[in-house]
Copies of this chain bind each other. A is one copy, B any other.
Amino acid sequence: MQGIRALVFDVFGTLVDWRGGIAREARALLAPHGIAIDGEAFADAWRAQYQPAMEDVRSGRLPFSKLDALHRRNLEAIAAAFGLGSLPESARVELNLAWHRLDAWPDVSPGLHRLRTRFRLAPCSNGNISLMVDLARRNGLPWDAILGAEFARDYKPKPIVYQSAAAAFDCDPGQVLMVAAHSDDLAAAARAGLRTAFVARPDEKGPGRGEVRASAPVDIEVTSLLELADRLGCGKA
Interface residues of A (CB under 8 A from B): 68, 120, 128-130, 132-133, 136-137, 143-147, 150-151, 168-170
Contacts and interface: CB of A to CB of B under 8 A. Distances in A.
A66 to B, nearest CB: 8
A146 B137 CA distance: 15
Given A146-B145, A146-B146, A170 B130 contact: yes
Copies of this chain, how many?
Answer: 2
B130 A136 contact: no
Nearest to A170: B130
A136 to B, nearest CB: 7
A169 B129 contact: yes
Contacts of A137: 144
A35 B137 CA distance: 47
B68 A130 contact: no
A150 B170 CA distance: 12
A153 B129 CA distance: 16
A198 B169 CA distance: 30
Nearest to A144: B133
